[in-house]
A and B are shown apart, each in its own frame.
Chain A
Amino acid sequence: MGSRQFATFEVDGQLFGVEVHTVQEVLSYNEYTPVPLAPPAVGGLFNLRGQVIAAVDLRVQLGLARQALHGPVMNVILRGDGEPVSLLVDKIGEVVDLEDEKFEPPPDTLSGPTRELVVGTFKLDGRLMLALDVNQAVDTYRATT
């Protein structure tokens, strides 16, 4: 039985996780440049040491209202496919080491936009962590209804 490391974070009270190797870094950032006419899930652009990074609002991806971009917001910067991309989240959690046996497919009762982003559920002590499909999570052209 193998185990995997997940970086965890919270959105709207729910714990999510992505595999650690997909994460470039985690940081809090203040100023975002909005991109008019971009898909709603695009929170804005910011300058990461000279690199222009697009921030995807995970709340919008999950079918929630946009995150207000005033003051510092936490970014989980994913390596992405050639170009890093950031997920805007509420709160950063810890890195957890999870054994594969704690994994279960997403419950059948889970529906809506969240269902499409989640590949499985991990049972932690006292709470559940939803493992995100990284590619789906940053796909801003996904139909967000």
Chain B
Amino acid sequence: MEDLGEIVGEFLMESHENLDQIDRDLVSLEQEPDSRDLISRIFRAIHTIKGTSGFLAFSRLEKLAHGGESLLSRLRDGVQPVTPETITVLLATIDGVRSLLSSIEEKGTEDEVDIDSILVKVHAQMNVPSDSAPAADQAAPAAAESAPAAEAGAAPAAEAETPVQLDETPARPAPDPVADQRQPIGQILVDAGAAAPSDVSSALQQQIEGDERKLGTILLEEGKAQPAAVNEALQQQAPKRSIADSAIRVDVDLLDTLLNMVGELVLARNQLVRGVMEIGESGLVRSAQRLGMITSELQAGIMKTRMQPIEHIWSKLPRVVRDLSNSLGKQVQLVMQGKDTELDRSLLEAVKDPLTHLVRNAVDHGIEDPDRRAAAGKNIEGTLTLRAYHEGGHVAVEVADDGAGLNVDRIAEKAVEKGLLRPDQIPNMDRRDIMAMVFQPGFSTAAKVTNVSGRGVGMDVVKTNIENIGGAVSVDSTPGEGTVWRLTIPLTLAIIQALTVDCGEQRYVVPQVAVLELVFIDGQSTKIEYASGAPVYRLRGKLLPLIRLDRALGLEVGGDQGVYIMVLQADGRRFGMVVDRVLNTEEVVVKALNTRFKDIGLYAGATILGDGKVGLILDVSSLARRSHLAVDSERENVVANSKSSGGGGVQRLLVTAVGERRVAIPLDTVTRLEEFPRDRIEHAGSREVVQYRGQILPLVRLSHLLGVYGEEIEGDTVSVVVYSEGGRSVALVVDRIVDIAENETTARRDAEEDGLVGTAVIQQRVTELLDVRRAILAADPNFYSDAEDDMLVEA
């Protein structure tokens, strides 16, 4: 029996694959009921399972597969039509086969699985009077007759006996011709009517008698068949052969080992090439270059073996959508675009569950009932679109439905209910920010908990899972038109494009995805400036906050001249990192860093550099966070939104309302938007202050500064714009945050009033541009003086 273990294992693996394919095919068959190809394919697959299970003496499995096969053969022969009910029964049969298989896998026996109830359904299906083929062959009535008997026989007595004979197919058939991998060419020709059976027989006879020519050749040369027909037959034969012979199963561990070894090879190659270049002997150089090329190709090849089309995880979704929409009484069409988009295997695995969740969610909550769709004037059949495509070193996967869209008001209400937001925050929030609340833990807007969603596995889990693999999730929705969930996933985890940089005496590695551009600081035409001690650089007229890598790493701080600024983008924020030298870009193999360094948080991993030394890979976003660059999510969202709404070079403005007036503040000077309860405002001397993050934050009311002495709006809270530089912060009190706008400077006049730098027409309304510096000084006269002191110290 030991030998059997392996055979059974192989059978289980193969059957699982077959079942997945059958699932897909059945769902497709429902769409195109007339497809003979699909029916044949399903038939073949289930027939294989039946045959093998008979051989391995799994009688229940055989019986069930046989039942399914019988029903399928009726469909194939056109005895009865393909109906949704038939598909449902067939899918149930497949599920039965699945549970039998897992029972065999886990317990080694199939005895505990109930198959009779499924068989009853199968037989019931076969009883359905078929009007499509009244003059069906004799097998059909025979099957119909035997079915009631089987139904009755499904009682215990039938157990453990030979499978009930349902139709003309013998219980353990001789190998079925359709199940064969290859059909003989003669048969194809005869079936196609391109050759007479007698001619084929005589040609076969010739072969047996020692004619070494191929069958097709014999027929051709004797003029018994047309060349075109033979060609066609050969082609029909060919694909089957290629599928059977061109793929092998490989252990994933082996691939991982190979990938590691190729990683090592790349490093050894780099070292060798470097050494050879130093020697400079031309013959050696050529060999080294050739070795380099081969290594690169080998690396690409190995990487490719780990890549799988996203279809792999999509393949189960048609079934999910079908079952779910049926049970909910909805009609959903699933469209898949970009099936061939490839992802690293390990990532694919990690994306599977989140994606399934999004799809279930879209069917359950996204797409409306047919009645409501009809009432809204939409096609009653909803469309769910899965889209995958490459985008800048990442793969984007979208789940889009054409349903009612997210109810922003409901989300806001819920967020308040859950204590995630305060009611007074809502009016100032962007729609997308409110929508993003669904990713918060413990958030579910489903009015009632169905058995589909709302089981605690929420969008927050989707978000966490995707972020764990270095990806991101976002959602956008248009009321009445639908919702798009978007996953951005890195292509692979193992090898990244990176820049090597020098800082102090050490070399570090920066992932290239985060790098936007490099700037050399010569100290003359380009230089680092300080704002209250915080280094900044004027990048095309805009201030770029800088962090010094040496300082961030706690090393000795170097000079400001002859250094490089790497303009980086992380967490929706742009900043510059000062390093001593930028060396080159290379592909590096990411090695997991010893767990003891995880807590430091500055390193994303380690790699072996070209010289064989270990290099640390910097984690750009946590570097930014540690350097207090990244700020509140509000600010991040502000930046992200304004970015998505416009191009790069235009100045972005935060538009606020002060009394009747609209006042704009350059967005890049804003650190944060906040709301304070009115009763938190305290007085220090003549000034208003609030306690904020362990600091005393001076407030200045723009209404006072600009001389708007209208009626104060007496709400419970005040909206403020926080501005920070170095360690100092001030807050400008406005009545309301209105919007974020691009300054198109259609009309601008210089200011006539104190505290303003001018007026402009923004969004068709006259808007005043605030003199930020003056406003800040009004709040804190010493705000800038410390900066100047610091500057002297730094210089």
Contacts and interface: CB of A to CB of B under 8 A. Distances in A.
B596 A52 contact: no
B554 A45 contact: no
B554 A52 contact: no
Interface in A29-83: 31, 33-39, 42, 44-47, 49-54, 83
Contact of A83 (B553, B594, B612): B594
Interface residues of A, number: 23
Contact of B600 (A35, A44, A49, A85): A35
A45 B614 CA distance: 6
Contacts of A46: 613-614
B600 A37 contact: yes
Contacts of A42: 596-597
A63 B594 CA distance: 23
Contacts of A54: 594, 596-597
Interface in B591-626: 591, 593-597, 599-600, 602-603, 606-608, 612-616
A51 B614 CA distance: 9
B595 A50 contact: no
A27 B597 CA distance: 23
Given A38-B600, A47-B608, A33 B506 contact: yes
A52 B606 contact: yes
Contacts, number: 63
Contacts of A51: 591
Contacts of A85: 594
B264 interface: yes
Contact of B602 (A37, A50, A53, A141): A37
Nearest to B267: A50
B594 A52 contact: yes
A135 to B, nearest CB: 12
Contact of A50 (B264, B615, B616): B264
A53 B592 CA distance: 11
Given A35-B600, A37-B553, A52 B612 contact: no
B68 interface: no
Q: Taking each of B595, B603, B616, which has the highest tally of chain A beta carbons within 10 Å of its own beta carbon?
A: B616
A36 B606 contact: no
Nearest to A51: B591
B608 A52 contact: yes
B7 interface: no
A85 B591 CA distance: 15
Chain B residues touching A, majority SS: mixed
B613 A31 contact: yes
B539 to A, nearest CB: 27
Contacts of A36: 506, 553-555, 602
Interface in B31-61: none
B217 interface: no
B354 interface: no
Q: Taking each of B506, B596, B600, which has the highest tally of chain A beta carbons within 10 Å of its own beta carbon?
A: B596
A121 interface: no
Contacts of A37: 553-554, 600, 602
A123 B681 CA distance: 72
A140 interface: yes
Contacts of A45: 594, 606, 614, 616
Contacts of B553: 36-37
Contacts of A47: 608, 612-614
B482 interface: no
B786 to A, nearest CB: 28
Given A50-B263, A50-B267, A50-B608, A33 B613 contact: yes
Contacts of A35: 597, 600, 603, 616
Contact of B595 (A39, A44, A53, A83): A83
Interface in B568-603: 591, 593-597, 599-600, 602-603
Contacts of B606: 33, 45, 52
Contacts of B264: 49-50
Nearest to B504: A36
A83 B592 CA distance: 10
A70 to B, nearest CB: 12
B260 interface: yes
A58 B264 CA distance: 30
Contacts of A50: 260, 263-264, 267, 608
A52 B595 contact: no
A46 B606 CA distance: 10
Interface in B486-530: 506
Nearest to A83: B594
A50 B269 CA distance: 13
Contacts of A83: 594-595
A33 B615 contact: yes
Interface string B244-272: 00000000000000001001100100000
A38 B602 CA distance: 10
Contact of A141 (B593, B596, B607, B615): B596
20 contacts: A31-B612, A33-B606, A34-B506, A35-B616, A36-B506, A37-B554, A37-B600, A38-B596, A42-B596, A44-B614, A45-B606, A47-B608, A47-B614, A49-B264, A52-B593, A52-B594, A54-B594, A140-B596, A141-B596, A141-B599
Given A35-B597, A36-B554, A45-B616, 14 more contacts: A31-B613, A33-B506, A33-B606, A33-B613, A36-B602, A37-B553, A46-B613, A47-B614, A50-B263, A50-B608, A52-B591, A52-B594, A54-B594, A83-B594
Nearest first, the 4 closest Cβ-Cβ pairs linking A and B are A36-B553, A45-B614, A33-B614, A54-B594
